[in-house]
A and B are shown apart, each in its own frame.
Chain A
Amino acid sequence: MATLLWLHGGACNGNTMSFLNAEYPSVCDLVTDFGIEILWHPSAGLEMGNQVQALLRDILAEKIPLDIFVFEGTVILGPNGTGRYNMFAGRPMKDWVYDLAHVAKYVVAVGNCACQGNIPAVPPNPTESTGLQFHKTKKGGFLGENFVSRGGLPVINIPGCPAHYDWITQVLVALAVGRAEDIQLDEYHRPLTFFKTFSQTGCTRVQFHEWKIAAEEFGQGTRKGCLFYELGCRGPLTHAPCNRILWNGVSSKQRSGHPCIGCTEFAFPWFDLAPGTIFKTQKVAGVIPKETVYEADKFTYMLHAVTARIAAPKWATEDMFVV
């Protein structure tokens, strides 16, 4: 039994939409099987207007205990720190967020916006958006680097643009069944159980990566080859379980020929979307990827790459995923 309140700041509702796709457990299962009482959710709550305001006041007065406070979207501080670019229930949303985070047992940031500011915070950051406890890769964010909720944990960050439904529901179940202590967090407060491995872990193209066979172009070319060398895939560099816990239960970006865009890392969107950086691998001397998973020097990398390509079996240059 746990109470849950979910609010939207500078949000697109993508994390809610992802959440509603949940399968095991489904959103209905969370309510009926795990006793999670959803006090209110902006897209699913029956209550409106004054009832919501009364509920929020009761939570702040601690008449209603709040076990899990879920926040989706950026904390909007603009203009000039007033928060007036995002009003909610009669006051700036940032003020509600601050107060609720300080009475909640656990605070969960779902999606990159709440984790680190994400796309709304890309320069020039017109809304002065930031994340709950990080601003991009820098710790601090809206609540400050020392914030710890009453349950003894900092903001639990479930990054991604959006966060996968399964990452959200499993964390909620862990909190609901009393396993908060087992949630180990990395330096960005991401649950290690999901974010220790890479987006590449489980990728069906990983053999092409090993043999250094590149996909050159989108479309037909991507039934074969690795998306890392030319098309900007960040799979080997991104902490995420996208090829282990499939999207919508059926696929992943790489499996569909879509380069990983590294959306669970706090530097996302990479290079602030500067010209020449989207779906293109950044290279040194036009050949060597600027960022590689190798710790060796560039010469050793080149040697390894050439050797691998020479040694590659015939199938590695063929269309492996045939019609």
Chain B
Amino acid sequence: MATKQHLVIDPLARLEGDVRADVFVEDGHVVDVQVEAVMFRGFEIILRGKDPLAGLIVTPRVCGICGGSHLYKACQALDTAWHTQVPPNAWWIRNIAQVCETLQSVPRWYYAIFAIDFVNKNYAKSKLYDEVVKRWAPFVGTSYKIGLEISALPVKIYAMFGGQWPHSSFMVPGGVMCAPQLDHITRAHALLERYRTEWLEKVWLGCSVDRWLENKTWDDILNWLEESESHRNSDCGLFIRFCLENGLDKYGAGVGNFIACGSYVDPQFYPVSTIEDRNKALLAPSGVVYNGKYYPFDHLNVREDVTHSYFEGSWMLHPWDEETIPVDPEVAKKQGKYSWAKSPRYLINGQPVPCEAGPLARQVVAGYEEAKHTCTAAGCVEHAIDPLFRNIVNKIGPSVMVRVLARMHEAVKYYKWAKQWLGKVDFKDDRFYNKPKELPDAKGFGGTEAARGALMDWIVLENGKIKNYQIVTPTAWNIGPRDSKGQMGPIEKAIVGSPVKNPEDPIEVAHVARSFDSCLVCTVHVYDRKSRKELARFKLGGTK
């Protein structure tokens, strides 16, 4: 007999901002879901009529977790609007700072946000439970403490160049404000080495970063796991074993389409900042993967659908033309709207397609040789084109486990890149800034890959003021509500099909939501599909 249940999680927490979702469960599996972002701050409205540079100060404050990424793309939006000539050194400093924000995010997210759910009492019967609690319990777990402490190191590098992290505004159109000295470079090397020796190799991998990077397939990873005790007993080894034991490799797939707008620029391919030349200068490739096929990324194919969002209208517009007019949720609900998030879509052959953004998306895109040809610079840098996650997705499909593993894999790649890029800063050429000609009327686009995925700004300047400013975040790509065609976004789609073993404590739904690392506090309501009556409320075991 089918079980039909309604559970409420309010708040789900550990995602920045607020989210609520209605989840419909039958026979122990989620069959339908609605995810609602329930907090609104109106940054795009505030930016209208302000100084063209206001985005540099305002957008990092959209999200303190990805503030540096907001700065990077806000700056690039002005660079492309004003066709700046950014000196090579400034690009390397921007790249290093940007990659350090992600290097910070990986351990901080894994230990503080994700892994503490494995301490949930639902897993008490696991053979690995005692070990998981010992290492990953919040505040007192052995790895938790190391992970949190180590996460403060990469952002020290950011602070040396940017003055502080979070919330610096040191990148400006035309370059950067800083002019680093030798000791900043040497200290940055030292901090990265500490990151590698004290956490990445010693705690996370149990092997060298180079040994890990030899893994090109899922079979390689399984072989790596069995290769030595230090691999098996590393946090990565424990994570994989725990996931396989508890089925986290079996659910949370999502929409299966992926978007990466790419990031990090090789200045030799980008003497003048233009939207047209951006793709080829990217060191982390851009692209969209739809139905297993690679498409070059073009910002003109991005749309925002507001049909089910708490904003006026039911249109789907390119961000340069987009409006942001909030509607009281009480009123909007009557029009079938249910979230503050908009629904970004990418046009493939004119059809709007929902796409997953994030580390898994980046790594799948990086698995296509075609990416090398679109993004010429990426073809020239080690590990930019990387077959591992395309192979894993083809072999076992996307899942909570695979999504998390992609995020952790990036720590290894990005450590290597940060080291290389420090070597590119050339003190014989001491330019870090070229003053741009500020055009009063212009349009710009800037994009980067924040830790949690594709992050983009569109700016329209008129009479020396901001006429329109639109920000499309990775969280919107992932958590946005249905579009005008009724298509679910990646998180809604990924929750459908998830098991709910214990209706009193549907931790699986939380794992799926968290695996995307959304910047939203999440509220999940699980309803009886027929009566819509609340049967039970979601409780987490906790440690108390």
Residues of B within 8 A of A127 (CB): 40-42
For B433, give its contact among A26, A31, A218 (CB under 8 Å). Answer: A218
From B139, which residue of chain A is reached at the shortest CB distance? A31
* CA distance in complex: A52, B12 (Å): 9
For A276, give its contact among B8, B11, B51, B174 (CB under 8 Å). Answer: B51
Find out whether the CB atom of B152 lies under 8 angstroms from the CB atom of A89. Answer: no
| Chain A nearest CB, measured from B37 CB (Å) | 10
Check: A219 CB closer than 8 A to any chain B CB. Answer: yes
Find out whether the CB atom of B138 lies under 8 angstroms from the CB atom of A44. Answer: yes
Residues of B within 8 A of A32 (CB): 139-140
Check: A194 CB closer than 8 A to any chain B CB. Answer: no
Name which of B87, B120, B156, B543 has the most chain A CB atoms within 10 A of its CB: B156
Check: A310 CB closer than 8 A to any chain B CB. Answer: no
Find out whether the CB atom of A84 lies under 8 angstroms from the CB atom of B51. Answer: no
Q: Which of B161-169, B296-304, B353-361, B406-414 lies at the interface with chain A?
A: B161-169
Find out whether the CB atom of A49 lies under 8 angstroms from the CB atom of B177. Answer: no
For A51, give its contact among B38, B145, B431, B540 (CB under 8 Å). Answer: B540
The bracket for how many chain B residues form the interface is: 35 or more
Residues of A within 8 A of B179 (CB): 219-223, 257, 321
The verdict on A256 contacting B160 (CB below 8 Å), with A20-B151, A23-B152, A31-B139 known, is yes
Residues of A within 8 A of B168 (CB): 253, 256, 258
Find out whether the CB atom of B11 lies under 8 angstroms from the CB atom of A48. Answer: yes
* CA distance in complex: A150, B179 (Å): 49
Find out whether the CB atom of A258 lies under 8 angstroms from the CB atom of B138. Answer: no
Check: B149 CB closer than 8 A to any chain A CB. Answer: yes
Residues of A within 8 A of B174 (CB): 218-219
Check: A120 CB closer than 8 A to any chain B CB. Answer: yes
For B175, give its contact among A80, A161, A162, A218 (CB under 8 Å). Answer: A218
Residues of A within 8 A of B148 (CB): 20, 26-28
Check: A10 CB closer than 8 A to any chain B CB. Answer: yes
Mask for A92-129, Cβ within 8 A of B = 1, else 0? Answer: 00000000000000000000000000111010111101
* CA distance in complex: A247, B170 (Å): 14
The verdict on A44 contacting B177 (CB below 8 Å), with A50-B538, A119-B61 known, is no
Residues of A within 8 A of B38 (CB): 86-88
The verdict on A256 contacting B67 (CB below 8 Å), with A51-B539, A273-B58 known, is no
Residues of B within 8 A of A119 (CB): 43, 46, 57-58, 61
From A247, which residue of chain B is reached at the shortest CB distance? B164
* CA distance in complex: A242, B164 (Å): 10
- List B522-539 residues whose CB lies under 8 Å from chain A: 523-524, 537-539
* CA distance in complex: A292, B133 (Å): 57
Check: B227 CB closer than 8 A to any chain A CB. Answer: no
Check: A309 CB closer than 8 A to any chain B CB. Answer: no
Find out whether the CB atom of B172 lies under 8 angstroms from the CB atom of A279. Answer: yes
* CA distance in complex: A70, B216 (Å): 47
Q: How many A-B residue pairs have CB under 8 A?
A: 302
Check: A35 CB closer than 8 A to any chain B CB. Answer: no
Q: Which of A11-19, A171-179, A183-191, A300-308 lies at the interface with chain B?
A: A11-19
- List B125-181 residues whose CB lies under 8 Å from chain A: 138-140, 144-145, 148-149, 151-152, 155-156, 158-170, 172, 174-179, 181
Find out whether the CB atom of B172 lies under 8 angstroms from the CB atom of A247. Answer: no
From A272, which residue of chain B is reached at the shortest CB distance? B50
Interface SS of A by simple majority: loop
| Chain A nearest CB, measured from B82 CB (Å) | 14
* CA distance in complex: A242, B159 (Å): 12
Mask for A23-55, Cβ within 8 A of B = 1, else 0? Answer: 100111001100000100011111111111100
Residues of A within 8 A of B116 (CB): 44, 46
Residues of B within 8 A of A15 (CB): 64
Check: B113 CB closer than 8 A to any chain A CB. Answer: yes
Residues of A within 8 A of B182 (CB): 323
Find out whether the CB atom of A279 lies under 8 angstroms from the CB atom of B53. Answer: yes
For A12, give its contact among B16, B51, B52, B119 (CB under 8 Å). Answer: B16
The verdict on A12 contacting B63 (CB below 8 Å), with A27-B139, A120-B42, A219-B432 known, is yes
Residues of A within 8 A of B120 (CB): 46
* CA distance in complex: A322, B170 (Å): 20
Check: B90 CB closer than 8 A to any chain A CB. Answer: yes
Check: A137 CB closer than 8 A to any chain B CB. Answer: no
From A87, which residue of chain B is reached at the shortest CB distance? B38
Find out whether the CB atom of B16 lies under 8 angstroms from the CB atom of A8. Answer: yes
Residues of B within 8 A of A221 (CB): 179, 433
Find out whether the CB atom of A323 lies under 8 angstroms from the CB atom of B138. Answer: no
From A52, which residue of chain B is reached at the shortest CB distance? B11
From A22, which residue of chain B is reached at the shortest CB distance? B152
Q: Which of B257-265, B323-331, B384-392 lies at the interface with chain A?
A: B323-331
For A43, give its contact among B63, B113, B144, B542 (CB under 8 Å). Answer: B113
Find out whether the CB atom of A14 lies under 8 angstroms from the CB atom of B64. Answer: yes
Find out whether the CB atom of A257 lies under 8 angstroms from the CB atom of B140. Answer: no
* CA distance in complex: A118, B62 (Å): 12
Find out whether the CB atom of B543 lies under 8 angstroms from the CB atom of A46. Answer: yes
Residues of B within 8 A of A162 (CB): 64, 166-167
| Chain B nearest CB, measured from A16 CB (Å) | 7
Mask for A250-289, Cβ within 8 A of B = 1, else 0? Answer: 1111111111010000000100111111110000000000
Check: B14 CB closer than 8 A to any chain A CB. Answer: yes
Check: A248 CB closer than 8 A to any chain B CB. Answer: yes
For A250, give its contact among B58, B90, B160 (CB under 8 Å). Answer: B160
Find out whether the CB atom of A219 lies under 8 angstroms from the CB atom of B175. Answer: yes
Residues of B within 8 A of A218 (CB): 172, 174-177, 432-433, 435
The verdict on A52 contacting B13 (CB below 8 Å), with A42-B521, A256-B160, A258-B177 known, is yes
Residues of A within 8 A of B65 (CB): 12-14, 17
* CA distance in complex: A248, B164 (Å): 6
Residues of A within 8 A of B63 (CB): 12-14
For A323, give its contact among B10, B40, B145, B430 (CB under 8 Å). Answer: B430
Residues of A within 8 A of B330 (CB): 82, 84
Find out whether the CB atom of B42 lies under 8 angstroms from the CB atom of A126. Answer: yes
Residues of B within 8 A of A27 (CB): 139, 148
With A26-B149, A28-B149, A127-B41 given, can you name 18 additional A-B contacts, CB distance below 8 Å? A12-B62, A13-B16, A27-B139, A28-B139, A28-B148, A44-B112, A50-B537, A87-B39, A162-B166, A219-B90, A219-B175, A223-B181, A251-B159, A253-B163, A256-B163, A257-B170, A273-B57, A275-B52
Binding site for B on A (CB under 8 A): 8, 10-18, 20-23, 26-28, 31-32, 38, 42-53, 74, 76, 78-80, 82, 84-90, 118-120, 122, 124-127, 129, 161-162, 217-223, 242, 247-259, 261, 269, 272-279, 321-323
- 23 contacting pairs across A/B (C-beta < 8 A): A8-B16, A12-B65, A13-B63, A21-B155, A44-B112, A48-B9, A48-B510, A48-B538, A49-B523, A87-B329, A89-B10, A119-B57, A127-B40, A162-B64, A162-B166, A219-B87, A219-B179, A248-B165, A251-B159, A256-B163, A257-B170, A257-B177, A269-B57
Binding site for A on B (CB under 8 A): 8-14, 16, 18, 20, 38-43, 45-47, 50-54, 56-58, 61-65, 67, 87, 90, 108, 112-113, 116, 119-120, 138-140, 144-145, 148-149, 151-152, 155-156, 158-170, 172, 174-179, 181-182, 187, 326, 328-330, 427, 430-435, 464-465, 510, 519, 521, 523-524, 537-540, 542-543
